[in-house]
């Protein structure tokens, strides 16, 4: 039997319970939906008993629940905008300080890269974009946030994978990450890379044939996507995809694209992902994407492979490690490879061709360089010269600079005790991302022609040409190499970087040697950059081109 309380005392007790609930949520950040139900449902239900004598059963519950939730919400909002909040010193729009919902809405339209860049222009180098979150445009933050002693990965990575039972490499941090990364490093060392050349060559030849057959009004971006997806399937699982000959028959490309967007939503709201895992109807796209990876990896285990593919290393088929890793881990990482390695590389290739076709003089310069290294009859896929081709490498770097394909960066969480990041102190538990897109397009890091495609900046920086050769005044030249991070930075940077560069160099050389391309009639180049979307990885719009074969008889 509960003691009877005066109405005023019962109301006060309810308000106190709401404040305690706020404290518990803030301190422990529970993610389990059952705990949420308990913390939010039990207090109003139980406390309504005290008001029953005054309002009856239903009335008492309505009054208690209203008071409880109004007090809770008010307490949360006031705390978040108050000067007592640990992030109070950082500027940002009021709406973002109160809740992350508005940013999630912007993000789900794929506009986060541009929106965040505008926020930096308005508020400065560190902007508060959520109650507990900042974005950073200061290149001096790259080392302390992403470097060897940097921050661990944020919860966004678990949300993106919908709290998958096995944590993949990309979601891991610290010692766990280091241990998982070992076989990946073996899979991407120079000997292993040599072994993938044949696989790239076969697929690149197929791509060139397809483009030369299709000729008119081809969506080059989609063809690059098919190419990278087929190649990554060969590379990760010893085969299993044939989009370059059959098209996207099983709509796998669609699954991957839709899965990325859905995963991005859950990364933005990891607590919703925790709910979605409890209800099978939610997160279908992410689950289909995961299922695909598991099916491919399982088939690979059953069938084996004649090539030394990525699986060969991940599954310790090379016998280097004393302990073979659990199969579920290998499968999860195999799926990660296809997801991380296809879209990214296809995007860079598409962006590069867009910029080259928009700047015909740059296109011709690169073509001339390819012709000088690989005259007709020479094998443009031969990797011997690729790393020494200055114009090729400068053009690829410039495409990576203008559109880093992970534009909004890799979100991390400040460790216990907080940490100084350059001149900025980030309190414990703050989610922080270095905004690669803004850093790459900051004139303090790259000038002149900061927002234009100007590959010469990389040639000047490498000492291959002088500023005067490139027609600019030396005093205007700024090149901050430490601010160029398209593959991220530190121990969790892109493990596939060298493979991606090799794949892109080979493909560009072959296509440039063999084909001539121009924008298709009616294609509006203006629409391309505006159409780029940020769903963690960039999603590209159509790039329509006409293709013809070059004269190879010289």
Closest distance of CB 275 from ligand HEM, Å? 23
Nearer to ligand HEM, 263 or 283 (CB): 263
Nearer to ligand HEM, 370 or 537 (CB): 537
Token pair in block for residue 15: 């308000």
Q: Residue 374 is inside which H or E element, if any?
A: none
Q: Residue 147 in contact with residue 490, Cβ under 8 Å?
A: yes
The interface mask with ligand HEM, positions 469-498, x = CB under 6 A, is -----------------xxx---x-xxx--
Q: Under the criterion CB under 6 A, does residue 500 sit at the interface with ligand HEM?
A: yes
Nearer to ligand HEM, 51 or 426 (CB): 426
Closest distance of CB 444 from ligand HEM, Å? 21
Q: Under the criterion CB under 6 A, does residue 170 sit at the interface with ligand HEM?
A: yes
Q: Under the criterion CB under 6 A, does residue 405 sit at the interface with ligand HEM?
A: yes
Site size with ligand HEM, rule: CB under 6 A: 22
Q: Is 509 annotated as a binding residue?
A: no
Separation of alpha carbons 54 and 69, rounded Å: 20
Closest distance of CB 177 from ligand HEM, Å? 6
Block residue for tokens 């060897």: 148
Separation of alpha carbons 217 and 317, rounded Å: 45
Which of positions 303-342 make contact with ligand HEM (CB under 6 A)?
Answer: 336-337, 340-341
Query: Which residues, including other chains, have CB under 8 Å from residue 551's CB and lie 6 or more apart?
Result: 376
Residue from 332, 345, 433, 513 in contact with ligand HEM (CB under 6 A): 345
Q: Under the criterion CB under 6 A, does residue 283 sit at the interface with ligand HEM?
A: no
Closest distance of CB 339 from ligand HEM, Å? 9
Nearer to ligand HEM, 129 or 406 (CB): 406
Number of residue whose CB is nearest ligand HEM:
496
Q: What is the separation of C-alpha 461 from the centre of its chain, rounded to a whole number of angstroms?
A: 27
The interface mask with ligand HEM, positions 406-445, x = CB under 6 A, is x---x-----------------------------------
Q: Residue 390 in contact with residue 455, Cβ under 8 Å?
A: no
- 136 beta partners: 126, 434
Q: Is 6 helix (H, G, I), strand (E, B) or coil?
A: coil
Separation of alpha carbons 482 and 93, rounded Å: 29
Give the number of C-alpha atoms closer than 13 A to the C-alpha of residue 466, restricted to the C-beta side: 5
Separation of alpha carbons 286 and 291, rounded Å: 9
Nearer to ligand HEM, 345 or 513 (CB): 345
Crossing angle of helices 497-514 and 327-358, in 10° steps, is: 40
Closest distance of CB 399 from ligand HEM, Å? 9
Closest distance of CB 171 from ligand HEM, Å? 8
Give the residue from 445, 239, 456 showing the smallest Cα distance to 338.
239
Token pair in block for residue 365: 């310069």
Closest distance of CB 232 from ligand HEM, Å? 7
Q: Under the criterion CB under 6 A, does residue 72 sit at the interface with ligand HEM?
A: no
Nearer to ligand HEM, 336 or 472 (CB): 336
DSSP state of 110: T
Span between the terminal Cα atoms of the chain, in Å:
100
Report the helix count and the strand count for the chain, using DSSP H and E.
22, 13
Q: Is 59 helix (H, G, I), strand (E, B) or coil?
A: helix
Closest distance of CB 387 from ligand HEM, Å? 15
Separation of alpha carbons 259 and 274, rounded Å: 17
Nearer to ligand HEM, 140 or 488 (CB): 488
Which residues sit in the known binding site for heme?
Answer: 494
Which residues sit in the known binding site?
Answer: 494
Give me the residues that bind ligand HEM (CB under 6 A), please: 169-170, 181, 336-337, 340-341, 344-345, 348, 405-406, 410, 486-488, 492, 494-496, 499-500
């Amino acid at each position: 039997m509960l003691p009877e309380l005066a109405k005023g005392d019962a109301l006060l007790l309810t308000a106190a319970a709401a404040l305690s609930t706020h404290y518990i949520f803030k301190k422990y950040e529970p993610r389990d939906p059952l705990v949420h139900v308990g913390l939010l449902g039990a207090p109003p239900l139980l406390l309504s008993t005290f008001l029953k004598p005054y309002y009856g059963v239903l009335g008492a519950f309505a009054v208690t629940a209203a008071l409880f939730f109004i007090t809770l919400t008010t307490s949360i909002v006031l705390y978040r905008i108050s000067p007592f909040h640990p992030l109070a010193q950082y500027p940002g729009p009021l709406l973002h300080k109160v809740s992350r919902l508005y940013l999630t809405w912007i993000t789900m339209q794929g506009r986060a890269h541009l929106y965040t860049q505008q926020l930096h222009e308005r508020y400065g180098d560190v902007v508060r974009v959520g109650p507990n979150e900042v974005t950073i445009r200061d290149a001096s933050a790259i080392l302390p946030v992403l470097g060897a002693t940097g921050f661990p990965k944020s919860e966004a990575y678990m949300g993106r994978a919908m709290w998958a039972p096995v944590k993949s490499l990309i979601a891991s941090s610290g010692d766990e990450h280091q241990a998982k990364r070992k076989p990946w490093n073996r899979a991407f060392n120079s000997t292993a890379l040599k072994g993938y050349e044949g696989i790239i060559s076969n697929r690149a030849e197929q791509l060139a044939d397809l483009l030369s057959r299709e000729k008119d009004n081809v969506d080059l971006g989609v063809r690059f996507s098919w190419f990278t997806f087929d190649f990554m399937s060969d590379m990760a699982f010893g085969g299993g995809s044939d989009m370059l000959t059959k098209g996207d028959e099983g709509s796998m490309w669609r699954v991957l694209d839709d899965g990325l967007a859905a995963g991005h939503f859950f990364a933005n709201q990891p607590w919703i992902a925790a709910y979605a895992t409890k209800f099978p109807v939610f997160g279908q796209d992410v689950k289909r994407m995961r299922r695909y990876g598991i099916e491919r990896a399982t088939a690979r285990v059953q069938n084996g492979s004649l090539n030394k593919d990525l699986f060969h290393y991940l599954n310790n088929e090379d016998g280097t490690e004393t302990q073979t890793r659990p199969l579920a881990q290998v499968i999860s990482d195999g799926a990660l490879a296809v997801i991380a390695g296809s879209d990214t590389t296809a995007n860079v290739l598409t962006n590069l061709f867009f910029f080259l076709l928009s700047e015909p003089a740059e296109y011709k310069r690169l073509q001339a360089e390819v012709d000088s290294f690989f005259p007709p009859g020479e094998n443009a896929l031969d990797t011997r010269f690729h790393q020494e081709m200055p114009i090729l490498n400068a053009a690829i770097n410039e495409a990576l600079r203008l559109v880093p394909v992970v534009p909004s960066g890799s979100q991390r969480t400040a460790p216990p005790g907080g940490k100084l990041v350059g001149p900025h102190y980030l309190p414990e538990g703050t989610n922080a991302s270095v905004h690669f897109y803004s850093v790459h397009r900051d004139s303090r890091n790259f000038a002149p022609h900061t927002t234009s495609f100007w590959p010469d900046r990389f040639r000047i920086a490498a000492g291959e040409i002088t500023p005067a050769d490139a027609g600019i005044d030396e005093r205007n030249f700024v090149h901050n190499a430490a601010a160029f991070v398209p593959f991220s930075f530190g121990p969790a940077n892109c493990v596939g970087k060298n493979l991606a560069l090799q794949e892109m160099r080979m493909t560009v050389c072959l296509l440039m040697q063999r084909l001539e391309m121009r924008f298709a009639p009616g294609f509006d180049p203006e629409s391309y950059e505006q159409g780029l979307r940020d769903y963690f990885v960039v999603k590209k719009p159509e790039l329509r081109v006409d293709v013809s074969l070059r004269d190879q008889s010289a």
